Amino acid sequence: MLIGWYMSDNQCPVHGHGESTRRWMSTDELFRETNEVTIVHNHQPYKLRITKNGKLILTK
């Protein structure tokens, strides 16, 4: 299942400039009702989490 959304005109939702090769996803959508997700890259799990201060931290 693919989670996320694409801007219909391929524009960055933050700055509005064209980005035809990038996919944009809000952290609200990515994290939904949790503060941590696991991302697998090259068969290795990485944890991406939101801190109490609202910062993002990626750890292996």
Digitized pLDDT (tens) for each residue of the chain, 60 residues in all: 344 544 445 566 666 665 556 677 889 989 999 999 999 999 999 999 999 999 999 999
- Rounded CA-CA distance 1/14 in Å is 25
Instruction: Look at residue 1 in the predicted model and tell me its pLDDT.
Output: 39
State the pLDDT at residue 24.
Answer: 76
Strands (E), the chain: 36-41, 44-50, 56-59
First CA to last CA across the chain, in angstroms? 23
Q: What is the pTM of this model?
A: 0.64
3-state secondary structure 5-20: ECCCCCECCCCCCECC
What local confidence, expressed as pLDDT, does residue 2 receive? 45
Phi and psi based region of residue 23 (left: phi greater than 0; alpha: psi -120 to 50; beta: remaining): beta
